[in-house]
Structure 1
Amino acid sequence: MKYRNYFIKVYLISTVLWSNFCLSQSKLNHITISLSGVVVDAKTLNPIPNAIIFDEFDKRVAESDKNGFFETKINVINSEEIYFEFYVTKSRYNIIHQREHWGKSKDLKGNYIIALSNKNEPDNSFSNLLSTKSLKHRIAINSLNKLRQEKNIAINLLKLMTGNKKILIEFNGDKFLVTNFNHFQLKKSDKIIFINDKPYSIEEVNNLINRDNIKNLTRFENPIAQFYLTTY
């Protein structure tokens, strides 16, 4: 009986020591990353409440509030370089997976815009990592407002493009170079454009080329021209 009690005590002590060791190893092998952001509808950019955020181990870690905001912490494997992922779900919306590789970054924060597409519409889901320095919601709000402004410009440019083939279009006092696939807002310093390797004044492009013939238009920073356009 005496030996039996001795072995029971040894077993219990060993179990406690092993549990503590495993717990300490788990803490050593994992680091905590803080996440925040806003979940919105990819089409309307309106907030999505009650979206669920899961970590890579399928653990539910957060839920967006009535304004689409969320904030949480996730545990990831501690290795030389930081790899992790999380995903966001909401009924009637496509799931979006966010996969990150932060290299050897010491910044353990991520502030995001997560945009989900309705399952009944084309999947235009997207996500933007806004900051690894701050979790403040103001960062997401400012970025959302900028996206809404850009969307408003794009909608109005499409209206102004209807019934013509112009490349240079003016909207709200600003000038834009537009194609059937992208657009650029002009700066005051934007004066010259290369069209098939030849320089022209941007102001005369509407008399030189048909919008439907454009194959590529990119900003082209060099001493001569600010844009490069090709029709081949």
Structure 2
Amino acid sequence: MNKTHGVLIIEDDFRIAEINRQFVEQTAGFRVLHEAKTRAEALSFLAEHAGQISLVLLDAYIPDATGLELLWEIRRHYRHIDIVMVTAAKEVDTIQEALRGGVFDYLIKPTQSERMAHMLDRFLKERALLEQKQEMSQEELDRALNRHPAVAEPPPAAASSSLPKGIDKLTLDTVLSTMAQAREPQTAVDLAKAIGASRSTARRYLEYLVAQGKACAEQAYGEVGRPERRYRLNP
């Protein structure tokens, strides 16, 4: 049975907290257990439920403390919990201190659903790998931490094969997997709902697949009589 990781959101803006909740719960393997608006509320919840929490999403700005102060406090008392800063703070000093505090990731608001999904997917993979191992080689550790020795820049011919701006490999793989499992041609709206992205993002990836010859598009009419493009992967 797959493990479900409890999540605590510490965010004083209830609208942003709810958006983050929706982002998290779109990913299997996570459940938001509480949304705290202050340091006092967060610490009170942790005092009773820390054993159920695997991940904290922490804003840098909360009413009764700074996010960095609370970061160090959680780190001292609850070392098993991973912390991700989800904040509008872009100052390098803030980012550096958060990194020194061992944050799992740092997401700058407004958070994109694709970026949140990427972080959550990496969290699941790293936790699963570390729970299965008692020892790790350098190569395994580098893969787990997504850190690899520097390599020389590829020659121009090789560079031309990289993905264009706006096309992320992780999201592209998700789109391809979703399209492959779909029983019927998909509209941009269908795909957006399936992958938890905006319609414009879904359309960008679909049109990219068409341009690459990996998918084809056909014109159809929806319920209101307007034409819409439906996409399917080529055999």
**TM-score computed with the length of structure 1 as normaliser:** 0.25
Name the larger-Rg structure. Answer: 1
Pick the structure with more helix per residue: 2
**TM-score computed with the length of structure 2 as normaliser:** 0.25
